A and B are shown apart, each in its own frame.
Chain A
Amino acid sequence: MSAAYGASRNWWKLALAWSFVGIPLTWGVVETGVNALKLFQ
């Protein structure tokens, strides 16, 4: 396995793993942020 192939496979794995946790977390943070804005209304 070439180093380039290994690096590109790692890149996909990383993107997938971080999206898997990042998307729900971002959704939750945005939901909470929107609710928090009520403090300033």
Chain B
Amino acid sequence: MSALSILGKERIIAPPGYSRWLIPPAALCVHLCIGQAYAFSVFNLPMTKLIGITASAPGDWRLTDLGWIFSLAIFFLGVSAALLGRWVEEGGPRCAMFTAALCWSGGFALSAIGVYLHVIWLIYIGYGVLGGFGLGIGYISPVSTLIKWFPDRPGMATGMAIMGFGGGAFIASPLSVWLMRTFSTPTHIGVAETFLVLGAVYFCFMMVGAAIVRVPAPGWKPAGYVAPVQPKKLITTENVHVYQALKTPQFWLIWWVLCLNVTAGIGVLGQASAMSQEMFPGRVTPVAAAGFVGLMSLFNMGGRFFWASMSDYLGRKNTYFVFFVLGTALYAAVPYTGEIGSVALFVLAYAIIFSMYGGGFSTVPAYLKDMFGTRYVGAIHGLLLTAWSMAGIFGPVLVNYIRQYNITHGVAKAQAYNATMYVMAVLLVIGFICNLFVTAVDRRHHMKLSGAEASA
């Protein structure tokens, strides 16, 4: 028996009396760490001055070179989640969390060497590829375990974990700034040391999650929970194999639902600071705009928990209907808030929009569980995350292109975002239509196993 056998699924079956409320903190141990990705931009400026120290010197990296690091990480998040989802599902959460910890901290270590030697390719491979694999494996690692522990509240359970991904940046951003300040001297910027410390801290933190996590014993159910005997219209009691799920229209409809919801949010997220200043010139200062971005991040994180929990009562399909209807109305209303000069209404509209952006991410695992069962939900979720990668490319491009087109054609900066808002509203209308067509998966796609066997 190898030392690695302690990572196996069969070794982490929960003993009687184990509290299922230990699983969300285990998941948060991983998601709070990998959520650092959203705060990577704090390193961009310091890394453009590694040679010049006070200002960029010849030979220093440019922002355009550094921008690829985050893009590669998000790209490989989607790739690894899609390719390794089935392996994660079959290997169990501890093995996946351990692998994610190795990739994530290894990515930081390799990047530290890249910074020390001033070789950007090492950072592309370290943070971008290896770290990206850590992101993808880590993101999906606790999803199906949470769903199995919380059959009565799957939305709330996955919402808690995915909220951690949004919250990770809140910790990483001030921590990274403090570490860089600590390790910097008048002749040196402490990025490499910061990467090493972060890698070590994240490894330990993620290993705590791997140590805590357990899978429920076969046939386990929460006290007092009675599984529905008759499946509800949109909640199956059967299971669909991961590769079979790809052949269903439901998978692709939900893929578009997620992609369109994320495209609308992610495009505006990157422009939030500039947009608030340009729509309210002289009234929203750069400092206030930074506060606006922070506030939106809080709503993004809070929305992940709130909307996913609400979906347990509203139903997944109805929750997305709320996102699309309310989102369309709010995007269409944003230009009006600019016209009447109401910063308060502008902030309120975006607060709700970003809560629904976060909610879109956290509600989708439970939506997949409803459609395809629990057996391969983690792997199917991994495949669905390619929608995120796609949205990550199209959203910002769309917003930037429309804004630039308007400014080039003489539209005032304050109105340059109006067309973008209407385009986002249209995207959400398309999302609404895709969601409308989601129906129960045809029986011919179900696995030829009884529900109990398949869940085991």
Contact = CB atoms under 8 A, between A and B. Distances in A.
Name A's interface SS: helix
Contacts of A41: 287-288, 291
Contact of A33 (B26, B208, B287, B298): B298
Contacts of B298: 29, 32-33, 36
A28 to B, nearest CB: 3
Contacts of B29: 20-21
Nearest to A34: B294
B151 interface: no
B164 A25 contact: yes
A17 B29 CA distance: 9
Interface in B295-330: 295, 297-298, 301
Nearest to B28: A21
Interface in B257-304: 284, 287-292, 294-295, 297-298, 301
B171 A25 contact: yes
Most buried by A among B26, B170, B173, B292: B170
A29 B301 CA distance: 10
B32 A21 contact: yes
A18 B26 CA distance: 9
A32 B170 contact: yes
B17 A10 contact: yes
Given A25-B170, A28-B174, A38 B291 contact: yes
A15 to B, nearest CB: 10
Interface string A1-30: 001001100100110011011101101110
B160 to A, nearest CB: 10
Interface residues of A, number: 26
Nearest to B285: A38
Given A25-B32, A39-B288, A14 B171 contact: no
B436 interface: no
B22 A39 contact: no
Contacts of A17: 22, 25-26, 212
A35 B287 CA distance: 9
B167 A29 contact: yes
Interface residues of B, number: 33
A11 to B, nearest CB: 9
Nearest to B297: A32
B170 A29 contact: yes
Interface in B150-204: 164, 167, 169-174
A39 B32 contact: no
A13 B22 contact: yes
A24 B171 contact: yes
Given A10-B19, A25-B164, A41-B288, A32 B294 contact: yes
Interface centre among B28, B301, B347 (most CB of A within 10 A): B28
Contacts of B212: 17
Nearest to A5: B17
A3 B439 CA distance: 45
A34 to B, nearest CB: 9
Contact of A36 (B171, B208, B295): B295
A7 to B, nearest CB: 8
- Chain B CB within 10 A, most for which of A13, A17, A24, A41: A17
Nearest to B17: A6
B291 A39 contact: yes
A22 B169 CA distance: 14
B100 to A, nearest CB: 16
A13 B170 contact: no
A27 to B, nearest CB: 7
Interface of A: 3, 6-7, 10, 13-14, 17-18, 20-22, 24-25, 27-29, 31-33, 35-41
Interface of B: 17-19, 21-22, 25-26, 28-29, 32, 164, 167, 169-174, 208, 212, 284, 287-292, 294-295, 297-298, 301, 347
Instruction: Sort A-B residue pairs by CB-CB distance and give the 10 closest, nearest first.
Output: A28-B170, A39-B291, A38-B291, A28-B171, A36-B294, A17-B25, A36-B295, A21-B28, A35-B294, A6-B17
